[in-house]
Amino acid sequence: MTQKNITILSMCAVVLGAVFVNEVIVKTGRSDQDRAVASFGERFEPNQIKWEHELAQTVSKDAKAKTLLGSKPNLQDRLLFEVFEGRYEAKLEQGQIQKISLLQNQAPLELKTESFMNEYGTLLKTYDSYAVTNVDARNESVQLKNKAGDSVGLLKIERDDQGRVLNIEIQ
């Protein structure tokens, strides 16, 4: 045989040997350690199970136990995190919103004044009726009135050139 044929056969034998070692030796050594759900400790350790049962009994007996129970968001949270999607910050004074401003690096949102005032106007100031007094492309004013029709406040909405809300200020 020529030296070229011997070299080719030797290389094929090395490759076949590596494949055999990989399939037979390496993979059979790992088969009993198959992947499972990751955990930080034993799942069925008797002391752990006993501790969990004792904790559950303690919490169920104590009505004032510190547990994390979900609660419905209030109207202010719904405004800031549902309507404004967390893109705006609010300045509060005595529980009422005084100013809502767009956060840096956030895209402004569109807002219809009528629906905003009907649903969330009570968060801004105490009033009985309102009237939109000044409307242009970038600024909008809403006059807040009491039952007698006297002015009790002014809501100013500043918008960008596309009509999206940048700031809302209550005076």
Cα 133 to Cα 144: distance, rounded to the nearest angstrom = 10
Q: What angle do CA 140, 143, 145 make, to 5 degrees?
A: 160
Residue span of the structural domain in which 133 resides = 75-170
140 forms bridges with which residues in the sheet? 135, 157
Q: CB of 109 within 8 A of CB of 164?
A: yes
Domain membership of residue 69 (yes or no) is no
What is the amino acid identity at position 43? R
Residue 32, in any domain of the structure: no
Is residue 130 within 8 A of residue 114, CB to CB? The reply is no
Residue 156 lies in a domain: yes
Domain-located, residue 37: no
CATH number, domain containing residue 125 = 3.30.310
9 inside domain: no
Q: What is the pLDDT of residue 7?
A: 93
| Residue 13: per-residue pLDDT | 95
Tokens coding 14? 């090395």
Specify the pLDDT at position 35: 56
Number of domains in the chain: 1
Radius of gyration of the chain (CA): 34
Q: In what helix (H) or strand (E) does residue 63 lie, and over which residues does it extend?
A: none
Determine, yes or no, domain membership for 103. Answer: yes
Q: What is the pLDDT of residue 14?
A: 95
Average pLDDT per block of 10 residues along the chain, 171 residues long: 89 92 73 54 67 78 64 78 81 81 83 81 78 77 81 82 83 81
Q: Does residue 42 sit within a domain?
A: no
| Count of alpha carbons within 13 angstroms of residue 9, beta-carbon side | 6
Residue 92 lies in a domain: yes
